[in-house]
Amino acid sequence: MITRSFESHNSFWTHLMILFVAVLLSFCPAEAKEKWTKNKKAVVASVEKHEKELTGISDNIWSYAELSLVEHQSSKALSDYAEKNGFKVERGVAGMPTAIVATYGSGRPRIGILGEFDANAGISQKKQPSKEARIAGAPGHGCGHNLFGTGSLGAAIAIKELMEKKKLKGTIVFFGTPAEETIFGKTYMARAGLFNDLDICMDWHP
């Protein structure tokens, strides 16, 4: 019922991050595209290097199970890891204390990746396939947002490391978007103009 572990979906995440890098390379010269195999290996290496930490972040966010606009621990886990990996992090954007914008690079293309991390009310669940609340009536992750936010940040980091290695121009922006389950925090981020300068913005869902 509840998707818990990032690790159990490692192959899926690897393909997701490779997809994001493929989009990045579509903006690059032909000679960069010809080196796709090397770039693919580089992004897989990045995923594997960060696997343990990303798995831990995903599992922690699952256990925090924080509701919309009060995802303080979840937001901190993502923003701290982005900062640790060389991103400039803005916290509390668009009037929401848990909203994040983490940026690396400069110039074009400017590529955005969205990541959610809020939980659902009343669906607390133990770490087992059968239905049984961990805490009766408490929140829980029923939509995999612990994976969503973590996987998107992992993709942003993989692209950032490829950009560094290959000296690629451009900007990668991770948007930590809160309150998906209630007020749809992306709406307020859009109203604040945070997406206005993007060339492309990628979203997905587990």
Instruction: Locate the DSSP E strands across the chain.
Output: 88-91, 100-106, 110-115, 170-176, 200-202
Q: How many CA atoms lie within 13 A of 114 on its CB side?
A: 22
pLDDT tops 50 at residue 5 = no
Q: What is the pLDDT of residue 36?
A: 63
**Domains, the chain, with CATH or none:** 7-202 (3.40.630.10)
**What type of residue is 25?**
L
Task: Give, in degrees to the nearest 5, the angle at Cα 181 between 192 and 59.
Answer: 105
**pTM of this prediction?**
0.82
Of residues 143 and 161, which shows the higher confidence score?
161
d(Cα 104, Cα 50) in Å, to the nearest integer? 17
Name 176's bridge partners.
Answer: 100, 115
pLDDT tens, position by position, 97-123: 999 999 999 999 999 999 999 999 999
